[in-house]
Amino acid sequence: MLSKKVVWVAVVIVVAIAGLYFTIASPFTSHELKVNLSVVASGNHSFSAKGETYVSPYVNLTIRFTSPSVLDPSKLNLTITGPGGRIAFGGSGTVLSGIRIAYYENMNPHWLATCCGGGMWSGYTATVINPDRSVVGGTLTSSGSQDETIESGANMTLTFPSNVNSARGYVLTASYQGTSGTASITLP
């Protein structure tokens, strides 16, 4: 039979371990998202299709964060809003308050903007490359390095559809499942 002293020591140890778990991991409370988005470059891509040349703007952003320590791309939510708080969805004539750019692991690029329940594609896309040059989610066309998490200091290339003349004034907002708060940047 265990003495009362041994039982009390065991109870104290269990309570201390549980307290540490709930303090550090906080499974029942959400953490605050601490992300900084900064523009490092912008410009235009030119491409030809069906005998016509198209130009689409792009912006390269750096993603730096301290909480969470790494980002699961499937939990990162990106929303793009046009100047004035509204955005046209491609050539469909639909105008929205924002378009969500969702992560699709089996697509390339991996982030695509779809809308309106029908899966219509808008032309807004994003690709993320970690500081070690690994593509988050990999690529469909190469067996090169890939990563399943986004690391602080990653580069995101956000590409706009060809019917957008400039990325100036658009707002990119990031949120993360399981955390409170958002990070946003108005594109120059």
**pLDDT tens by residue, 78-110:** 988 888 888 877 666 677 888 888 887 777 777
Tell whether the model's pLDDT for residue 170 goes beyond 60: yes
Q: Check residue 144 and give its pLDDT.
A: 46
pLDDT category of residue 28 using cuts at 50, 70 and 90:
very low
Q: Check residue 53 and give its pLDDT.
A: 84
Specify which of 9-23, 78-92, 127-141, 165-179 reaches the highest per-range mean pLDDT.
Answer: 165-179
- Averaged pLDDT score across all residues of the chain: 78
Question: Which pair of tokens denotes residue 47?
Answer: 């491409």
Give CA–CA dist 78/126, Å, rounded.
Answer: 10
Q: Check residue 29 and give its pLDDT.
A: 46
Q: What percent of the chain has pLDDT over 90?
A: 17
- Cβ distance 160 to 187 under 8 Å? no
Give CA–CA dist 188/178, Å, rounded.
Answer: 30
**pLDDT tens by residue, 136-165:** 875 544 444 455 889 999 999 998 888 888
Range 151-178 burial, b when 16+ CB lie within 10 A, else e? bbebbbbbbbbbebeebeebbbbbbbee
Nearest alpha carbon to residue 151 among 39, 82, 69, 44 = 69
pTM greater than 0.85:
no
Residues pairing with 184 in the sheet: 173
Mean pLDDT is lowest, of 9-18, 36-45, 113-122, for 9-18
Mean pLDDT is lowest, of 18-32, 42-56, 121-135, 174-188, for 18-32
The residues, any chain, with a CB within 8 Å of residue 69's CB and separated by 6 or more, are 152
Report which of residues 184 and 144 the model is more confident about: 184
**pLDDT tens by residue, 59-80:** 999 999 888 888 888 898 898 8
